[in-house]
Amino acid sequence: MTQAVLDGKAVSWRPCLRGPVLLADRGAADAAVARRAASDVAARIGVPVQLVTAWEVPAMVRVTPATGDLDVPGLYEGSARAAQTQVRQQLLRLGSAVGAGYVAEGSATVVVARTADMIGASLVVIGSRAGSGLGERPRPKLLAARQW
């Protein structure tokens, strides 16, 4: 794709894509296509893939009394970190340049939007969320998440 201003010189769009490709992925098998797409685009424009994984303790678990020293938030965070490690290994097997990874507690849409802004992502690729993705209309959700 090439754009040119009237009386101007045509310029390719690629030089504008300098930030990393951000891949939001929890390691689900059905997100393999998203991983491949993120890897391919990043390689094409010469930037690394960076990972973001959001985790959240369900409200029901937060209000259920627990006995002993069970660290419920720690379990959820540990699971998210393990999933991201697996995704990182899969990307490396694809030959991707993999940059920093981010694991954060919170709503997936908010965590992804904030991380994308923080790192200046050129593109955000959403894996899946146990087969449900971000719902039927992810774009409005991500845009709404940016209004914090």
Pairing outcome for strands 11-12 and 21-24 = unpaired
CA pair distance 21, 123, nearest whole angstrom:
5
Question: Which pLDDT band, with edges at 50, 70 and 90, does 29 fall under?
Answer: confident
Structure tokens at 47: 């930037």
Q: Which helix (H) or strand (E) holds 144?
A: helix 138-145
Question: Using one digit for the tens of pLDDT, what is the confidence trace for 42-76?
Answer: 999 999 999 999 999 887 766 666 666 778 888 89
Task: Check pLDDT > 60 for residue 2.
Answer: no
Length of the chain in residues, anyone? 148
